[in-house]
Amino acid sequence: MEFDNSTRTELSQLGEFGLIQHLSQYVEINQESTLKGIGDDAAVLDYGNLKTVISTDMLVEGVHFDLTYMPLKHLGYKSVVVNLSDIYAMNAQPRQILVSIALSSRFSLEAAEELYAGMLLACKKYNIDLVGGDTTSSHSGLVISITALGTANESDLVYRNGAKEGNLLCVSGDLGGAYMGLQVLEREKAVYKENPKLQPDLEGKDYILQRQLRPEARQDIIDLLKNIQVKPTAMIDISDGLSSEILHLCTQSNVGIELYEEKIPIDPLTYDTAREFNLDPTLCALSGGEDYELLFTVDMKDYDKIKNSLDISIIGHITNFSKGKLMVSKSGTVHEITAQGWNALLKK
């Protein structure tokens, strides 16, 4: 799917129905469970005897993304991925999404196409169907609301509330990268604002920029765990930062935690860039958010199965509720874990 972006077509030329019809022509159906996609009052899905898993996320311009440095195609891709990540975090398989977008007249048809192209690219990559949505206008920025549906056998589902004393705390991939990518983009935006003639200096930052602009959901981790026959006792995806998600797991499972700072996986580029910004790399991993890695707990008996998985780190263990939520620092001192998460509402 390639769009011609050399022209600008006003959305008002098409109208709401015209826009929906235009964008719908690019939508393909991949899932057998999709009985009816776009085009009626509702989509119709057939999950047979499986359980339905459903999650929704809203992304608001100026709050969750900045179009100064976020290409629309990447934004579309990311907005789908963050929803799928929630479905994987239930140990379920995503099947369909619904997409609602509010656009102001600032956006052209070509811009809407770019956004949609990114969404459809994610649908293709993760083999899911776009089955409906709503397209409307807004007076100011762009708002994207996506609902993702998935399926699972009831016995496969993993909730946030199943962590037990003695369980190992594990995390996929590495943390803090998306946040440091954002810091680099914000810095270059500030430089550009001061002097529009200066080219942004993003050299060597590819990995963390990709973490921020084009994250992936960890379908591979869900597949891996299935292959090595490990069912986590609890699981959550990391959207708001490690400490915030750990607290969610502990609260819902009614347990305590001991987290080891030295075990938190941080990519060298994330580490070096944090230092460059005079930031504590651990704090970036704990509070940065948007990594979309999976945080989960497993029974001790699964240690041997999991210890050699290169992309999974064991970062702590579950304790009794009365022990509290603690992090053992590299120097051996013990801190209580606190978190605001990525508190969008505190921003102006």
- Please state, in angstroms and as integers, the Cα–Cα distance from residue 344 to each residue in 18, 55, 58, 63, 72, following that order: 34, 19, 12, 7, 21
Of residues 324-343, those binding a second copy (CB under 8 A): 340-341, 343
**Out of 64, 73, 218, 325, which residue is the one contacting a second copy (CB under 8 A)?**
64
**Out of 1, 198, 300, 344, which residue is the one contacting a second copy (CB under 8 A)?**
344
**By the rule CB under 8 A, 68 interacts with a second copy:** no
Distance in angstroms (rounded) separating the CA atoms of residues 264 and 285: 8
200: tokens are 């942004």
**By the rule CB under 8 A, 1 interacts with a second copy:** no
Of residues 20-49, those binding a second copy (CB under 8 A): 35-36, 39-49
Select the span of 121-129, 137-145, 184-192, 262-270 touching a second copy (CB under 8 A): 137-145
Select the span of 134-142, 174-182, 215-223, 253-261 touching a second copy (CB under 8 A): 134-142
**Out of 24, 137, 210, 309, which residue is the one contacting a second copy (CB under 8 A)?**
137
Q: Which helix (H) or strand (E) holds 243?
A: helix 242-253
Considering beta carbons, is residue 43 or 111 the nearer one to a second copy? 43
- Among residues 291, 250, 300, 299, which one has the least CA distance to residue 267? 291
* Total residues in contact with a second copy, by rule CB under 8 A: 81
- Among residues 277, 88, 76, which one has the least CA distance to residue 173? 88
Of residues 240-299, those binding a second copy (CB under 8 A): 244, 252
Considering beta carbons, is residue 8 or 197 the nearer one to a second copy? 8
Distance in angstroms (rounded) separating the CA atoms of residues 216 and 81: 6
- Among residues 243, 207, 237, 209, which one has the least CA distance to residue 222? 237
Residue 126 CB, nearest approach to a second copy (Å): 15
Select the span of 133-141, 188-196, 285-293, 329-337 touching a second copy (CB under 8 A): 133-141
3 state SS for 111-135: HHHHHHHHHHHHHHHCCCEEEEEEE
**Out of 3, 57, 108, 192, which residue is the one contacting a second copy (CB under 8 A)?**
57
> Which residue type, as a one-letter code, is found at position 57?
D
**Out of 134, 220, 223, 280, which residue is the one contacting a second copy (CB under 8 A)?**
134
Residue 151 CB, nearest approach to a second copy (Å): 10
Cβ atoms of residues 128 and 184 within 8 Å: no
**By the rule CB under 8 A, 189 interacts with a second copy:** no
**By the rule CB under 8 A, 92 interacts with a second copy:** yes
SS3 of residue 76 by DSSP: helix
**Out of 4, 17, 308, 332, which residue is the one contacting a second copy (CB under 8 A)?**
17
- Among residues 143, 139, 142, which one has the least CA distance to residue 58? 143
Distance in angstroms (rounded) separating the CA atoms of residues 199 and 6: 23
Distance in angstroms (rounded) separating the CA atoms of residues 79 and 60: 11
Binding mask 222-251 for a second copy (x = CB under 8 A): -------------xxx------x-------
- Among residues 258, 277, 274, 276, which one has the least CA distance to residue 266? 274
SS3 of residue 226 by DSSP: helix
Considering beta carbons, is residue 52 or 329 the nearer one to a second copy? 52
**By the rule CB under 8 A, 67 interacts with a second copy:** no
